[in-house]
């Protein structure tokens, strides 16, 4: 066989082998992924995988994406591709339980009508184009869940939003939430201190919103918590009997999820009627928290001048705004951005809140959800007084050196606060019958969300009720209600949903270049400030000299001294401008140098590295052959 024929046969064999390997890999490795991104942002968490496989019957996800409307907008096209890839990951991980459909709702088409009918939000763009990027999920019993629009600003919670939707379709019944509270948060009757007559009090707004999403059940001093509850919400646990504390303890031991709002100084505590003011208004689950490994200092509130809300104080006829250091406004910087409960909130307001930390030797993981700044201080509730004096509190405030945790997610295994079993009943009463078997420790890691403030739930801290031409209207002032609903939604979603956290943003800015730009801007601003100060000083000097000298006709004249001063100013100005140009030139040079280095690494260094390895292998192979001879 000639050398030419051998070459042709060898080439044909290599080509056939290449095609065969590709066909085989496509069949055997169709679902294989290699995610090398920081934080594995393109890989589903185990909780999401479990949720994708959880439906007893298949669920259908229909993605409506108007690709033509996003054409020419790289940021939208990139985000839509990210959404599509995530949904495909859910479908691939579900083992057939999640069916994905993709629909392009072209303008004036039936698909667009379906998208509008389903409740999706069309975002108008330029040239009359409308962008649809939403999801409709259905199950076999016609339950429907909708994400009206995938907002790019919520990209970090994209996986959580989809996992929550799939979980809702797999578990279509309303989640049951039990509520234990010593306050009339669900409405009722109270004695009006002015008329001493019973008057009906409305339910708190947060309860109204909870009832729209959950099966809410009020529990009055229960001796056991029903097993069919998905979560238990405890609000202002004041003077709870031991039997109720035991019921809460055992609910948590059985793996129940707890949402707790306690308060060292509940300003909305009216349990004492007209004598409530000046009395004890604190509440705590301290007997349980201490046993579980959580410390909440008694009689102490968090004060922070940097987060303080301003209130009017002083003379009634001439009030002045004063920072009230125990009324705090938490914004994005004080709320966990990587948690699904607080990551989407903008503002939460709290009044005389307590704080938490883990007790010594505790194995619990306490993750802050809402915290103070690093200059907060712990202030005794006795300093607040009645009526409170914001000015006096401001004078007593001393900046601290550490942040205080106002609300937190708690996870881990715990032991019962009642190691010897249920407490004995009160004298003259019989022990409750049919209590579940006592559990001395939790069956596994538990999940709780705890907050040190009850007042944050009250209407006055986050809404304003108004009458609009005879119709009641609610204006939201803060996101306190969303914090409660988000916490309950997260806790009732099962263990898998609570493990899905916010992911790293796929937008990766050039942080080094941005830092170089900021440094240069600071230098330029400093130079600019020097120039302006020099200009003001020189102008003042000129005005001073000009006022002292004028010609015979009354018009100002420049003396040699004034001319010298002007020339001096001009020289200073030119020198400063030269320095500014030098700063800008240095900035451009640094950035251009960095760019050249990156280009060299990407275009030259890697090929050179491959060539070097190839040469090294050739040398080693030749040396091995030489030794063999």
Per residue in 277-335, pLDDT (tens digit) is: 557 889 999 999 999 999 999 999 999 999 999 988 866 777 778 899 999 999 988 99
Name the pTM for this structure: 0.69
What percentage of the chain carries pLDDT values higher than 90?
Answer: 43
Sequence-separated contacts (24+) of 387-392 with Cβ below 8 Å:
388/324, 388/326, 389/313, 390/311, 390/313, 390/322, 390/323, 390/324, 390/325, 391/313, 391/314, 391/322
- Of these ranges, 276-290, 404-418, 590-604, the one predicted with the greatest mean pLDDT is 404-418
Buried residues in 536-568 as b, exposed as e (16+ CB within 10 A): eebeebbeeeeeeeeeeeeeeeeeeebeebeee
Lowest mean pLDDT among 55-69, 229-243, 440-454, 528-542: 528-542
CB 133 within 8 A of CB 161: no
User: Quick one: pLDDT at residue 297?
Assistant: 93
SS3 assignment for 388-402: CCHHHHHHHCCCCCC
Mean pLDDT of the chain: 82
Burial of 207 (0-12, 13-18, 19+ CB in 10 A): buried
Q: At residue 551, does pLDDT exceed 70?
A: no
Q: At residue 416, does pLDDT exceed 60?
A: yes
Q: For 328-371, how does the pLDDT look when each residue is reduced to its tens digit (9 = 90+)?
A: 999 988 999 888 889 888 899 999 999 999 998 898 999 999 99
Alpha helices in 97-204 (DSSP H): 110-118, 158-170
Q: At residue 510, does pLDDT exceed 50?
A: yes
Measured CA to CA, the distance from residue 177 to residue 17 in angstroms comes to 61
Q: Give 325's contacts (C-beta < 8 A, 6+ positions apart).
A: 303, 304, 305, 308, 379, 390, 393, 394, 397
């Amino acid at each position: 066989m000639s050398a030419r024929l051998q070459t042709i046969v060898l080439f044909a064999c290599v080509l056939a082998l290449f095609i065969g390997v590709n066909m085989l890999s496509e069949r055997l490795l169709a679902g294989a992924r290699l995610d090398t991104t920081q934080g594995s942002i393109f890989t589903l968490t185990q909780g999401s995988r479990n949720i994708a496989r959880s439906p007893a019957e298949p669920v259908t996800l229909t993605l409506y994406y108007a690709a033509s409307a996003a054409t020419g907008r790289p940021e939208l096209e990139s985000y839509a591709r990210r959404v599509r890839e995530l949904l495909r990951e859910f479908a691939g991980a579900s083992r057939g339980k999640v069916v994905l459909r993709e629909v392009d709702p072209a303008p004036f088409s039936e698909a667009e009508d379906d998208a509008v009918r389903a409740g999706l939000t069309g975002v108008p763009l330029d040239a009359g184009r409308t962008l649809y990027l939403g999801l409709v999920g259905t199950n076999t019993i016609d339950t429907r869940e909708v994400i009206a629009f995938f907002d790019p600003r919520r990209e970090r919670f994209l996986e959580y939003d989809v996992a929550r939707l799939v979980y809702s379709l797999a578990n279509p019944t309303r989640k049951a939430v039990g509520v234990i509270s010593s306050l009339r948060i669900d409405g009722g009757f109270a004695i009006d201190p002015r008329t001493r007559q019973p008057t009906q009090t409305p339910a708190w707004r947060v309860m109204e919103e909870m009832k729209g999403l959950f099966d809410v059940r009020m529990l009055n001093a229960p001796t056991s918590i029903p097993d069919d509850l998905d979560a238990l919400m405890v609000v202002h646990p004041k003077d709870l009997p031991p039997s109720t504390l035991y019921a809460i303890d055992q609910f948590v031991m059985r793996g129940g999820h707890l949402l707790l709002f306690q308060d060292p100084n509940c300003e909305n505590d009216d349990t004492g009627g007209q004598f409530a003011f000046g009395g004890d208004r604190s509440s705590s689950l301290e007997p349980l928290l201490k046993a579980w490994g959580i410390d909440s200092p008694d009689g102490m509130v968090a004060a922070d001048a940097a987060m303080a809300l301003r209130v009017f104080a002083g003379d009634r006829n001439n009030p002045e705004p004063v920072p009230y250091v125990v009324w705090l406004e938490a914004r994005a910087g004080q709320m966990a951005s990587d948690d699904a409960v607080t990551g989407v909130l903008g503002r939460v307001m709290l009044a005389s809140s307590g704080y938490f930390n883990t007790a010594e030797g505790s194995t619990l993981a306490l993750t802050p959800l809402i915290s103070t700044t690093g200059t907060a201080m712990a202030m005794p509730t006795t300093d607040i007084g009645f009526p409170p004096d914001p000015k006096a509190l401001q004078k007593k405030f001393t900046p601290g050196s550490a942040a205080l945790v106002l609300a937190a997610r708690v996870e881990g295994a715990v032991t019962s606060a009642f190691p010897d079993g249920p407490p004995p009943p009160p004298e003259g009463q019989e022990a409750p019958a049919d209590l579940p078997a006592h559990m001395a420790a939790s069956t596994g890691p538990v999940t709780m969300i705890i907050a040190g403030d009850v007042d944050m739930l009250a209407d006055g801290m986050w809404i304003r009720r108004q009458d609009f031409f005879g119709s009641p209207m609610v204006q939201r002032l803060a996101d306190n209600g969303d914090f409660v609903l988000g916490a309950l939604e997260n806790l009732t979603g099962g263990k898998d949903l609570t493990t899905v956290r916010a992911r790293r943003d796929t937008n990766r800015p050039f942080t080094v270049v941005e830092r170089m730009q900021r440094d240069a801007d600071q230098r330029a601003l400093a130079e600019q400030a020097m120039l302006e100060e020099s200009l003001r000083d020189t102008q003042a000097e000129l005005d001073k000299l000009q006022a002292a000298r004028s010609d015979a006709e009354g018009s100002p004249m420049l003396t040699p001294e004034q001319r010298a001063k002007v020339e001096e100013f001009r020289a200073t100005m030119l020198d400063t401008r030269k320095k500014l140009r030098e700063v800008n030139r240095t900035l451009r040079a640094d950035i251009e140098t960095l760019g050249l280095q990156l280009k060299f690494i990407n275009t030259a260094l890697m090929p050179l590295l491959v060539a070097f390895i190839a040469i090294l292998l050739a040398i080693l192979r030749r040396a091995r052959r030489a030794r063999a001879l």
